[in-house]
Structure 1
């Protein structure tokens, strides 16, 4: 699954996109403005960025240009807006954005765009690729001829100890296995924190609204929980 950075000044949009992407198995980080987006980009390189165009401090197109000029635009960026013109979308694409989402964003369109963006994988600009190639020449052997690069040795994957997984089967679809794990995970924290939603929210790093929805989705909404 992927690490996705969502940058939008509207809390409702952030929570909605976060919930959808989290349910798809992605790790989601949220930023409400360009300053938080810069900090998040410096902490880690996301696999994809969903970037709103209209923001109060620095607009998305300006931030996109900034990342490009600093050599930080090495991940797919999808622009989002409900008021952008075609010229703005074309400009963002010229700068380096891979796609554009018009608000309100439909579920099908979001998932298709995210899937398409992630399929591009890790990429570099031609300038970066040229610099990398020039900085890392192929090694020479003693006769001055380029050495033939041997393929990397691939180690076999270790066998998984099923006893460590409890009742979670690895033979089931990923979504079912993830739900089974999350059910055990949240049951553990609920019991550990005496069903205090505030404490469980802090422990798991989920906002309370998202936490309630997740518990309901996992079928444990009927349990008695304190606040």
Structure 2
């Protein structure tokens, strides 16, 4: 797993991203401003940085430029903002950012961006990557801030869940509806927990439930979470 530095002046966003990424098995460092981000980068040399654009002291673009100009941009950087523009997105790629996440950040987009970032070779020195991360920008009228930094590439459509013969379950239908439904839901969540190696974040993503709702549902159904915990956590 990787070491990821999250730089954002909002405590709630730092806490949420930390929880999700830690649940995925990563080591997370947190910084609320540029000064803390500089110190964290020197201390831990992160494999990836999630960097907010709008911060009270030094903004994310300025910090990105600084790292690039001093040959410290040795890790992929993903920019985040709830108030970005296409010009801002293009400027960020110009100075070395590999992707852009618009707030509020969805779980699927966060995990996909992190996975892509960790798979991408780190920049060398102050060499900036091609505009748009090496992908052609699409000039259609529906261009968004996020697509400006990803070459207009959208998320792939969700794939249907394939249940093999080994996953088949039998249920006693000669019982009250509530009991039959609870039995099905328990098997359903146990299947996903086993498939995702106990990752609550990925199960929440797969099943379309908020994490807090998912925890309550599993407790209500009597699902044993201890046996599904990943050894890495």
TM-score range, shorter chain: 0.5 to 0.7
- Counterparts of residues 98-109 of structure 1 (less than 5 Å): 98-109=98-109
Are the structure 2 counterparts of residues 84 and 26 from structure 1 closer, same or farther at C-alpha, using a change threshold of 3 Å?
A: same
CA distance in 2, matches of 1:71, 1:118: 19
Q: Aligned residue for 2:89? A: 89
The structure whose RCO (Cα within 8 Å, separation 6+) is larger is: 2
Residues 84 and 72 (structure 1), Cα distance of their counterparts in 2 relative to 1, 3 Å cut: same
Bigger Rg, which one: 1
1:42, CA displacement in angstroms? 1.0
TM-score (norm 1): 0.57
Give the superposition deviation at 1:127. 5.6
SS at match of 2:30: strand
What is the rounded CA distance, in whole Å, between the counterparts of 1:175 and 1:39 in structure 2?
Answer: 34
Gaps of at least 5 residues in structure 2 are 129-193, 201-214, 227-233
Aligned equivalents of 1:126, 1:35: Cα separation in 2: 20
Structure 2-normalised TM-score? 0.55
Aligned-residue CA RMSD in angstroms? Answer: 2.7
- Structure 1 runs (4+) deviating above 3 angstroms are 125-128, 172-176, 216-220
Q: How many residue pairs get matched?
A: 141
Are the equivalent residues in 2 in contact too, given 1:47–1:121 (CA < 8 A)?
Answer: no
Question: 1:125 and 1:173, CA in 2 relative to 1: closer, same or farther beyond 3 A?
Answer: farther
Shift of 1:218: 9.0
Runs (5+) with no aligned partner, structure 1? 129-171, 180-212, 221-227
Checking the alignment, whether the CA contact within 8 Å between 1:64 and 1:95 is kept in structure 2 is: yes
Q: Which residue of 1 aligns with 2:67?
A: 67
Give the match's secondary structure for 1:84: coil
